[in-house]
Amino acid sequence: MKILALDTSTEYCSVAILLDSEILDQEVFAGQRHSELILPMVKRALGEAGLALVQLDGIAFGAGPGSFTGLRIACGITQGLAFGADLPVVGICTLEALAQEAGENRVIAALDARMKEIYHAAYEKTVDGWQEVSEPALCLPFNAPGVSGSSWTGCGSGFDIYNEVLRNRYGGRVSHIIGDLRPNARAMARLAAPRLAKGLGIRPADAAPLYVRNKVALKEKER
């Protein structure tokens, strides 16, 4: 399969192209320049792969959770590209992308959600792909959903920032932590491939961000 994937959910901007089993990817620290950088990165990636948009089997994007602005950028760019080339799209959860990137079989993914909260999900790898043990949710670190068993890997900025709290929360169930891991387009392209192969892509108009959080900021009386 030939799949374009892009992610702007964090301070980084990444683009990847899956050519059957081969991945061509690029990533840059974008800060607040995602909208300025993403299309030139897509154009460069397609040029390096020797592909035109119409030759792709689909486009994947980081649906969230993550930066609200970043999620809207990725979704909007994906819709525009896919609509023009008549391609199906797949929104990939950034927490599942973290699990994919961790390279382990049992993963607790946690991203810093600001306001002293984290975006959290837990996954186990099966022959059919990643199975949700705990669905994507917003929570306080000390109140993160529990898991059973042992040999879990914790990953993402949530574990980087709230390391001690999450270690205490999970006790000996977490044996390894990769705090500096972040979602990227490379993992999203690999996750999208079996879904597109099964015809599970959606129309560009139906693509939407996965915000998880309903509020961007606390009101004065809630602080």
Cβ-based neighbour number of residue 208 at 10 Å: 14
Per-residue pLDDT at 199 = 97
Residue-wise pLDDT tens digits, 150-159: 999 999 999 9
Helices (H), the chain: 34-49, 68-85, 94-102, 157-161, 163-170, 185-197
Residue-wise pLDDT tens digits, 22-49: 999 999 999 999 999 999 999 999 999 9
Q: How confident is the model at residue 217 (pLDDT cuts 50, 70, 90)?
A: very low
Q: Are residues 10 and 76 in the same domain?
A: yes
Find the CATH number of the domain harbouring 103. 3.30.420.40
214, part of any domain: no
Per-residue pLDDT at 68 = 96
- State which residues form the domain around 144: 94-178
Q: Over the chain, what is the mean pLDDT?
A: 94
User: CA torsion angle for 187, 138, 74, 178 (degrees, to 10)?
Assistant: -30
Per-residue pLDDT at 113 = 97
Q: Are residues 8 and 85 in the same domain?
A: yes
Is 174 a residue whose pLDDT tops 60? yes
